[in-house]
Amino acid sequence: MSGIERGGQLRFLTLTSSNESPDTCQPSWHVLIQRLRRRGLVQGYIKVPERSKNGKQHLHVLFRGSYIDQALISAWWQEIHQAKIVDIRATWRNASKKNIASYLCKYMSKENIYRYSWDWGWVWRGFCRDWRDLKRWANTSTQAMTEGFMPYILSRWHAWLHGNWEPPWKIETAGGAT
């Protein structure tokens, strides 16, 4: 929600892999994102890698930025990653921030051997510390263990971002922070 709350034009981008592509997208992504940044087309992103049926990695990206022609990004991805199938679109015109976040979370909450990542234009200062503290706290939660760690932690994170839950480590008591 941090990046969505910042405003700007949000766009979905899916970058696929072909049989000729490397098994991982990460080196190719670094080349592509640098190209996009140099041209001022992307101001922030969060991406989720996922394994395709052919065993190759592909990426789901939500980014804040300018219009990018599909043919152009497809040509760049073909040049960089040997895969030309790219889907890029603006987020739904009337979609709420919650709907946009939910769409991305469906990829984030799947059992995934890869980890999602973001750039610093997407999250707030102190994000890593807050996320670390939430994971540490959830590791001791019986409810997290019975409901599944990632679904539980994502539900708590979502509630926290929307002001519906105060994390126990943030609550001040008479004796100091707990």
Top-confidence residue, 41 or 112: 41
Architecture field, domain 2-118: 2-Layer Sandwich (3.30)
Summarised one tens digit per residue, pLDDT across range 8-53 is 788 889 999 999 999 889 999 999 999 999 999 998 898 888 888 8
Phi, psi of 37 (to 5 degrees): -65, -45
Q: How many CB atoms lie within 10 A of CB 28?
A: 22
Distance, in Å, from the CA atom of 159 to the CA atom of 150, rounded to the nearest integer, reads 14
Mean pLDDT calculated for residue range 68-97: 89
pLDDT of residue 71: 96
The answer to whether residues 138 and 149 touch, using CB atoms and an 8 Å cutoff, is yes
Summarised one tens digit per residue, pLDDT across range 53-76 is 878 888 999 898 889 999 999 999
Summarised one tens digit per residue, pLDDT across range 114-129 is 677 778 777 777 777 7
pLDDT of residue 76: 97
Q: How confident is the model at residue 177 (pLDDT cuts 50, 70, 90)?
A: very low
- CATH 3.30.70.1910-classified regions of the chain: 2-118
Top-confidence residue, 155 or 31: 31
Phi, psi of 77 (to 5 degrees): -65, -35
